């Protein structure tokens, strides 16, 4: 693509964008505001307004307790099955559980408990810190000494693939990585890394929080064992909406949930006194689920399915390439560095720009320039592109305002 730095180019690209109509399906009331933080909190789908009104006033207010039998009890499986279609899994392999960190705790714990007597968990220093904290907690709880090896990225941007290959060995129980990492948007080759894990007899657990809804994945092709991921970023499920869990079917009944609650109990309404896990994925559930926050996930998933992950990815790549082109034209001369991979295949849907004065610039953008990025220490200005609603004009305008900030 031959990009140009004039405003007409952005207009032309938007005119050619076959996903442009999806933008109309989101609440965007302030046309001057450019929101590039959909990778932290996705925008509100218009359909969610109607749904939440129905959830509160009709399903809770009118149907009351009967709503549990009329859909709430199966809601986590129903939305999970839709997410499965986004990530190349079967419907009974994905379920909405608790927060990403709690889901990760459950799966990491059981992976480590299963893969005895191996004593090592391998991850990298690009992983989301909460994932590292969870792994540290799992290590503390394990019945045997467990060591967490945090492989450093060579440059703070790219995943340390070669060093991971060296670290993963016969003593490795679990490898836990972010599919797309939160700072640089580096995106692992899921198939290749999963193969590394399996070659060593280790279990592979992916955190897809920053890829779900923007970077396609095919968990079956990758032969991934487990995955988790949040639904409030590119899925647009609302603040803190609960996360999904994926457990490949052949693993489901061989692994155990450490937090054994009644939502995972076989014949739960028999109220037996002894825990007996429901077969399949459901025994990874625990307590009564927060229905309002879970229901809000579905409209965003429906929009992703309607748009199609391939088209979303194509647009996202084009838009991050365009952003990087404008960086080179306008911002590199001003001292901004590119803190994301240049290779599109290894890049997710946000671009991080570094600047020694990054914290001030990010603040100026928010308070004076009506651009909402986010900022990650020490110097990362993250610009998130949500291909469902981010326009080329958004990117053109935002980069122009950054130039002036």
Residues with active-site annotation: 128, 207, 232-233, 382
Distance CA 349, CA 309 (A): 12
User: Considering the rule CB under 8 A, would residue 202 count as an interface residue with its own copies?
Assistant: no
- Candidate list 68, 91, 218, 280; residue touching its own copies; CB under 8 A: 68
User: Considering the rule CB under 8 A, would residue 367 count as an interface residue with its own copies?
Assistant: no
- Candidate list 279, 287, 308, 335; residue touching its own copies; CB under 8 A: 287
User: Considering the rule CB under 8 A, would residue 372 count as an interface residue with its own copies?
Assistant: yes
3-state secondary structure of 129: helix
**Contacts to its own copies from residues 223-242, by CB under 8 A:** 230, 232, 238-242
User: Considering the rule CB under 8 A, would residue 37 count as an interface residue with its own copies?
Assistant: yes
- Candidate list 7, 56, 305, 334; residue touching its own copies; CB under 8 A: 56
User: Considering the rule CB under 8 A, would residue 6 count as an interface residue with its own copies?
Assistant: no
Angle between helices 7-16 and 392-404 (to 10 degrees): 160
3-state secondary structure of 388: coil
Closest CB to its own copies among 133 and 343? Answer: 133
- Candidate list 62, 116, 166, 221; residue touching its own copies; CB under 8 A: 62
Min. distance of Cβ 8 from its own copies in angstroms? 29
User: Considering the rule CB under 8 A, would residue 31 count as an interface residue with its own copies?
Assistant: no
Closest CB to its own copies among 219 and 386? Answer: 386
Report CA torsion sign: 318, 321, 322, 323: positive
Inter-residue contact 3 to 322 (CB < 8 Å): yes
DSSP structural state of residue 280: T
Distance CA 102, CA 55 (A): 25
Closest CB to its own copies among 100 and 172? Answer: 100
Distance CA 59, CA 160 (A): 49
User: Considering the rule CB under 8 A, would residue 77 count as an interface residue with its own copies?
Assistant: no
User: Considering the rule CB under 8 A, would residue 20 count as an interface residue with its own copies?
Assistant: no
Residue that has been written with the tokens 């608790």 in this structure? 98
- Candidate list 16, 18, 27, 368; residue touching its own copies; CB under 8 A: 27
Closest CB to its own copies among 141 and 192? Answer: 141
**Contacts to its own copies from residues 87-146, by CB under 8 A:** 98-102, 105, 125, 128-130, 132-134, 136-137, 140-141, 143
Q: Is 326 exposed, middle or buried (0-12, 13-18, 19+ CB in 10 A)?
A: buried
Min. distance of Cβ 286 from its own copies in angstroms? 5
**Contacts to its own copies from residues 159-198, by CB under 8 A:** none
The full length of the chain comes to 405
Distance CA 221, CA 191 (A): 7
The size of the interface with its own copies (CB under 8 A), counted in residues, is 82
- Candidate list 110, 286, 320, 339; residue touching its own copies; CB under 8 A: 286
- Candidate list 65, 145, 254, 345; residue touching its own copies; CB under 8 A: 65
Task: Output the CA–CA distances (angstroms, integers) from residue 379 to 56, 128, 355, 393, in the order listed.
Answer: 42, 17, 6, 25
Residue 378: is the preceding peptide bond cis (ω within 30°)?
yes
Distance CA 154, CA 200 (A): 23
3-state secondary structure of 401: helix
- Candidate list 192, 288, 306, 404; residue touching its own copies; CB under 8 A: 288
């Amino acid at each position: 693509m031959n990009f140009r730095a004039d405003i007409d180019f952005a207009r032309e690209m938007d005119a050619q964008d076959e996903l442009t109509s999806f933008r109309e399906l989101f609440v965007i009331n302030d046309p001057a505001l450019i929101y590039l933080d959909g990778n932290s909190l996705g925008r509100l789908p218009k359909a969610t307004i109607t749904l939440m009104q129905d959830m509160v006033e009709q399903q809770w207010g009118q149907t009351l307790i009967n709503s549990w039998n009329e859909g709430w009890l199966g809601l986590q499986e129903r939305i999970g099955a839709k997410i499965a279609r986004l990530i190349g899994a079967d419907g009974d392999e994905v379920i909405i559980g608790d927060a990403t960190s709690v889901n990760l705790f459950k799966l990491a714990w059981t992976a480590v408990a299963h893969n005895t007597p191996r004593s090592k968990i391998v991850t990298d220093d690009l992983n989301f810190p909460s994932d590292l904290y969870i792994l540290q907690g799992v290590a503390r709880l394990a019945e045997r000494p467990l060591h967490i090896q945090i492989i450093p990225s060579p440059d703070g941007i790219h995943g340390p693939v070669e060093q991971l290959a060296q670290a993963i060995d016969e003593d490795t129980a679990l490898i836990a990585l972010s599919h797309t990492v939160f700072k640089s948007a580096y995106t692992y080759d899921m198939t290749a890394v999963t193969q590394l894990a399996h070659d060593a007899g280790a279990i592979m657990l992916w955190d897809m929080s920053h890829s779900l809804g923007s970077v396609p994945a095919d968990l079956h092709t990758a032969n991934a064992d487990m995955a988790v991921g949040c639904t409030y970023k590119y899925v647009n499920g609302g603040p803190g909406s609960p996360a999904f869990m994926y457990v490949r079917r052949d693993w489901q009944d061989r692994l155990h949930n450490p937090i054994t609650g009644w939502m995972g109990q076989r014949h739960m309404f028999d109220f037996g006194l002894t825990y007996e896990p429901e077969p399949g994925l459901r025994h990874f559930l625990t307590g009564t689920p927060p229905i309002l926050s879970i229901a809000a996930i579905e409209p965003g998933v429906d929009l992703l399915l309607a748009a199609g992950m391939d088209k979303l990815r194509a647009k996202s790549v084009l838009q991050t390439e365009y952003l990087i082109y404008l960086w080179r034209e306008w911002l590199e001369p001003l001292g901004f560095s590119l803190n994301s991979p240049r290779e599109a295949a290894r890049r997710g849907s946000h671009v991080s720009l570094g600047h020694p004065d990054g914290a001030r610039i990010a603040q100026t953008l928010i308070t004076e320039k009506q651009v909402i990025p986010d900022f990650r220490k020490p110097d990362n200005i993250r610009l998130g592109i949500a291909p469902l609603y981010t326009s080329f004009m958004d990117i053109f305008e935002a980069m122009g305002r950054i130039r002036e900030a």
